[in-house]
Structure 1
Amino acid sequence: MTASRDNPLKVLFLASEADPFYKVGGLGDYAGSLPAALAAAANKSGQSLDIRVGLPFHQAINVDQSKFIKVTDLKVPKKKGSAKGSVFMHTHNGLPYYFIRRAGRAGGFSSVYSASPLQDARKYIFFSLASLELTRLLDWQPDIIHANDWHTAVSVYYLQHTLCQQPFFSRTRSLLVIHNLPFMGAGTGEVLDEFGIPPLPPTDSLPSWSLHFPLILGLQSADHITAVSPTYAEELKEEEFGNGLKDFFRQNEYRTSGILNGIDTHLWNPLQDTSLTRNFSAEDLESRKANKSALLELAGFDPQDKRPLLVAVTRLDIQKGTDLLIAAIPQLTDLDWNMIVLGTGDPNYEKTLLGLQTRYPDRLRAFLEFNAALSHQLYAGGDIFLMPSRYEPCGLSQMIAMRYGCIPVARSVGGLRDTIDDVSDETRTGYLFEEASPEAFGAALRKALQAYNDQGQWRRFQLRAMAQDFSWENSAERYLQLYQELLT
């Protein structure tokens, strides 16, 4: 299909969260940035793109709802009766965003994600189906349904199994993006059944326990599957990362690819970042030192301390390798360093970090909180960024750290492997380790700490890291190409 001004490429982009409306994790960054980047990339290349974003109407919304315009009411059929809802529209970055609210303020509506699988199911399964119904009410025939994770995967299934025979949707193709495979929508079968969506039939490539999970329904049905980094797309075929689905991904590698996420280079710009003590750039790296001094003082350390400052901005859990970080600290006390950790999560990890802070008061500070401004300051003032993730589909923190001249030490998985160059000192932008163990992490960190002693070499690492292009433009161009391939 060749899009023109009279016949633009129509994309319905569905997600559970999007910055600035509501953001819980990396998906919020992705859905908050990629649609506008797609529009810009299409305009730059002379393509005509009509992209519209669908989001659930969570109560915890971060914009003035008085600016929302009600578009329509709608109904989604169920086995018995129908589920009703309303749709509101708001223009952001020049794009229409549709907020779909289920009538009766269904359970889980007050927050983006609920601890109850059934509450989330009632919201997200309705949202997935209502999004498709909305296009029909608008008489807007989408060429592409771009869905993300289990929360919107039912739209892909329903399109393939129910709507594709209808003339309105006969040419619509689907793309399902995997941001975090372990979250498949378990415990939602009761609500799927209420909407008349049965389990998949048994197949050799899928385990029986997965056949009524929303993500699996979508993966089996999608015209194309995309992971959020090329390496993660390959890892899905491995025992360690496939979460029981390695056989499925091996059999379906012909319709699976990986596209690396980007970062918002306007938000994450050390030359303009208002959270910093002093702005800086690659041309003025000397000014960066003021941010390190301010951080050290904030943490109660000597502001003039010349030791390397290790920083982590993380969720404290097993996926992020918090246990590896905690176990590595006592192994490295023969070397000089300070460390600041920012994050919240598992109470046991929080307690252990506080214990280590007491044990090493002249080395370690733990800020057990969410603090956006402090995260910016850590990227700008830290020397070495710690990211020992057990798995990392893409990861944004390592890209931000490099943009701010903070050299990452990370496990060689997913997007970390795709973004960090550890081939040689001539091309280095960071350090990677293979095995998920405190010893392997500690060994990589030792290499970084030793390299830090050569400040001329370290500066070259910083400048090279800061020169990397992690903007959304590259990702957007690849998605536009994929859209066209799906319609050919």
Structure 2
Amino acid sequence: MRVLSVTPEIYPLVKTGGLADVAGALPRALAREGIAVHSLIPGYPAVLGALTSVKTVHSFGDLFGGPAKLLDASAADLALFVLDAPHLYGRDGNPYLDTAGQDWPDNAFRFAALARVAADIGQGLLPAFAPDIIHAHDWQAGLTPAYLQVGPGRRPGTVMTVHNLAFQGLFAPEVLGRLGLPAEMMTMEGVEYYGQIGFLKAGLCFADAITTVSPSYAAEICTPENGMGLDGLLRSRASILTGICNGIDTEVWNPRTDAHLAAPFDAESLEAKRINTTALRERFGLAHLPDAPLFGLIARLTSQKGIDLAIAAIPDLVARGAQLALLGSGDPKLEAGLAQAASKNPGRVAVAFGYDEPLAHLMQAGCDALIVPSRFEPCGLTQLAALRYGTLPVVSRVGGLADTVIDANEAAIAAGVATGFQFGPPTADTLLQALHRALALWQIKGVWQRLQRNAMNSDVGWGRSARLYASLFKSVARNPAFAARP
């Protein structure tokens, strides 16, 4: 089976969040299930600079305002189609924002181009590559099923994966014609979303199957409270909606071999984890307090991530003898709040602003517990890495966090299955209660180490999830209503 994965980012070539990790790891896992994946990605400068074995397989005279080439290439053991369109992607800034942090004003056309080319490939653009399934990731690929809906010729099955329903790709209705979509699509049953064009809504309307990145999140987004205005549509399509938890790349996240660590370790050599704790304290300028539990937080600094709840908990944590190391960037007000907490608590609280992949690895290895206080979380990846490194997650009981961390209540501890701490609903008070439970168990070293070993033995890789995706892809491809055929 052949699958075309359509994604705006892919690790390790370009990354702004967890979508890139999924897009980079899932093809490798699917290969073990006998499914060959080619990933279609935009030709950002960083991507073009990393390519090997490059071959032009198609040229476009005018693709949304300029010439473009479709490249067949490879990089980082990934099979790629790269859309080399300098007028759309050849610019500084990140994939979605300019250097001032504002949305690129032509984002509608930049990602319509990606979806248009994906649909063209599905309809036979490349004789040597005819996908059975097109797997579209998030709003940036959301128009792919819509283009296939109105296009001629063959039509492969389509699977739309929602990584975060909060990001919907909304644009002015005036661009509909320039996107190459017919006026009759601008309805409630089509791409229209409260007077705007919704790229994600288009994918949800016209895909043959919908997935999101955890079972709990799949249920949550069908409710008015969490459906972001799309809950009615999602309830109407509930029969084709599936939640499949993400995994992490267990070769990238491996405490036995991780080059970013001060010392390797595993579940049978937890004493070596303390070497990383010492290194992390030195890196952050924290006091050397070997009897103090060291909590970590690695996140985008946004309200969704519950950073304000963590800030509110800092005085209590410090008063109880704990330390806190934080890594992230985002909302200036939240950054200021964290900076103030660090200045008030030198040696106890430290912050690194920005994103630093090596430091994130060292934090997962060196912290005793990781705080993930999200108000909603489709899946989450940091808690999976924390489990892998024996850093017990303290998570809000939402989405994928609830699905992947087993709360250390008395029954779960007695059964030998507890891997962390859950709290809910996500408030400052419930977070503090969970942190107090973690601090109490930290004092009982034997119990804490058993939880660490449970966590490190958790199945956080892609194997099970890849099998579920493979089964879904095969089911969609077998359906004669939309199976790929000449």
Change (3 A) 1:191 1:117: farther
How far off its partner does 1:24 sit? 1.2
Q: Distance in 2 between matches of 1:30 and 1:402?
A: 17
1:280–1:351: structure 2 CA closer, same or farther, 3 Å change rule?
A: same
Q: Does 2:211 align with 1:226? A: yes
- Partners of 2:191 and 2:199 within 8 A in 1: no
**What is residue 74 of structure 1 aligned with on the other side?**
60
Residues of 2 paired with 1:379 and 1:312: CA distance? 9
**Aligned runs of 1:177-326 on 2, under 5 Å?**
177-187=161-171, 189-197=173-181, 198=183, 200=185, 202-203=187-188, 208-209=193-194, 212-326=197-311
2:125 paired residue among 116, 131, 137: 137
TM-score of the superposition, structure 1-length normalised? Answer: 0.90
Q: CA deviation at 1:96?
A: 2.8
Q: Distance in 2 between matches of 1:151 and 1:199?
A: 22
Query: What CA deviation, in whole Å up to 9, does each residue of 1:223-271 have, x standing for no partner?
Result: 1110011111011012222111112212211110111111010010001
Structure 1 residue aligned with 2:106, among 111, 116, 119?
Answer: 119
Quote the residue 1:484 is aligned against: 474
Give unmatched runs, 5+ long, in structure 2: 479-486
Task: State how far apart, in whole Å, the 1-side matches of 2:166 and 2:285 are.
Answer: 39
SS in 1 for 2:197: coil
Q: CA 1:137–1:23 in structure 2 vs 1: closer, same or farther (change >3 Å)?
A: same
Alpha-carbon contact 1:156-1:221 (below 8 Å) kept: yes
SS at match of 2:45: coil
Structure 1 portions without partners, runs of 5+ = 1-8, 43-48
1:6 aligned residue:
none
Q: Is the 8 A contact 2:405 2:422 kept in 1?
A: yes
In structure 1, give the amino acid aligned to 2:432: G
Query: What is the CA deviation profile of residues 428-454 of structure 1, one whole-angstrom value per residue up to 9, with x for unaligned ones?
Result: 101111112111111111111111110
CA separation in 2, counterparts of 1:351 and 1:377? 24
How far the C-alpha of 1:380 sits from its partner, in A, is 0.6
Q: How far apart, in 1, do the equivalents of 2:77 and 2:386 lie? A: 30
1:420 to 2:405 alignment: yes
Aligned length: 466
Partner of 1:400: 385
Q: In the alignment, is the contact (CA less than 8 A) between 2:121 and 2:130 conserved in 1?
A: no
Instruction: State the Cα deviation string for residues 308-356 of structure 1 (Å, max 9, x = none).
Output: 1111111111111111111121234441201111111111111111111
- SS of aligned partner of 2:176: helix
The equivalent residue for 1:368 is 353
- Deviation (angstroms), 1:64: 3.5
**TM-score, normalised relative to structure 2:** 0.90
131 and 454 in structure 1: CA distance in 2 versus 1, 3 angstrom threshold: same
Please give the per-residue CA displacement for 1:393-420, whole angstroms capped at 9, x wherever unaligned.
1100000011101001010111101100
Q: Which amino acid aligns with 2:131?
A: P
Task: Give the equivalent residue in structure 1 for 2:137.
Answer: 148
C-alpha contact (below 8 Å) 2:45/2:91 kept by paired residues: no
